[in-house]
Amino acid sequence: MNRVLLIVDEISTWIGKTAGWCILVLTFTTSYEVFVRYLFLAPTEWAFDASYMLYGTLFMLAGAYTLSRNGHVRGDFIYRAWSPRTQARWDLVLYFLFFFPGMLAFIYAGYGYAQLSWLVHEHSSASPFGPPVYHFKSLIPIVGVLMVTQGIVEVIRCIMCIHTGEWPKRLHDVEELEKVMLEKAEHGDYQVVKELEEIGQRRGDI
C-alpha cells in the first residue's frame, strides 16, 4: 500500500518540479520588461499577461506537490507537540470537514469557468496583447483533481498512522536545519544536535 502512496507522491513531485521551471521564464520575462521599460521607455504588450499566467501556473501546479511534502501552512507550534495518532486524527477530521468540500467546489466551479472560456474562445482583456486564456483556465479543474488525488493519499496515511501510531514513509526534499535539530532532540540524540550547531556557527563565521 505504501508503495502506491509513494507513486502518487512521485507524480505530484514531477508535476510540481516541472512547473518550477516557470520561475526561470517568469524571472526572464519580468527582468526584460523592467529593462526595456525604464531604459528604452518601450514597455512590452505581453509581459503582464505572461507574468500572471506563469505565476498562476506555478502556484496551482505546486499545490499537490506541497501537500505531498506536508508543506502547507499549519499551526505547527501546537501540532508538533501532539503524538502522531493525535495529529492523524485531527488531519483526518479537517480533510473531510474543509479540504474535500473546498476542492470539490473548486473543481465544479473551475470546470464551469473553463468550459465557458473554451466556448467563447476567451482572450485576455488586461492588455492590448490579448492572448487566449481558455487553456490557462483549464488548469483550474485539472489542479483540483490533482489535489483531491493527493488528498486521498494523505487520508490513507492518516488512517495508517491511527492504526500503527507512526506516520507512513513519504518522499522528502531537503529539510530545514531547525526541523532536523528538533527531531533529533526529541529522540534524545543531543550529540547530533551539538554537531549541527557547531556546523551552523562555523558557517556563520565564514
Q: Dihedral of CA 53/54/55/58: which sign? A: positive
Number of neighbours of residue 86 by Cβ within 10 angstroms: 13
Residue 94: what pLDDT?
A: 95
Q: Residue range 62-73: average pLDDT? A: 90
Residue 206: what pLDDT?
A: 44
| The residue type at 16 | G
Q: What are phi and psi of 44, to 5 degrees?
A: -85, 160
Task: Using pLDDT thresholds of 50, 70 and 90, give the confidence band for residue 185.
Answer: low
Spans of all domains in the chain:
2-173, 175-206
Q: How far apart are CA 57 and CA 122, in angstroms?
A: 18
Q: How far apart are CA 62 and CA 37, in angstroms?
A: 31
**Grid cell listed for 81:** 507537540
Instruction: Write the DSSP symbol of residue 82.
Output: S
Task: State the chain's mean pLDDT as an integer.
Answer: 87
Q: Is the pLDDT of residue 197 over 70?
A: no
**Which tens digits make up the pLDDT trace of 23-45?**
999 999 999 999 999 999 999 99
Residue 172: what pLDDT?
A: 75
Q: Is the pLDDT of residue 182 over 90?
A: no
Residue pair 60/147 in contact (Cβ under 8 Å)? The answer is no
Cell 518550477 -> residue? 20
Sequence-distant (≥ 6) Cβ neighbours of residue 65 within 8 angstroms: 12, 13, 15, 16, 17, 19
Number of neighbours of residue 26 by Cβ within 10 angstroms: 18
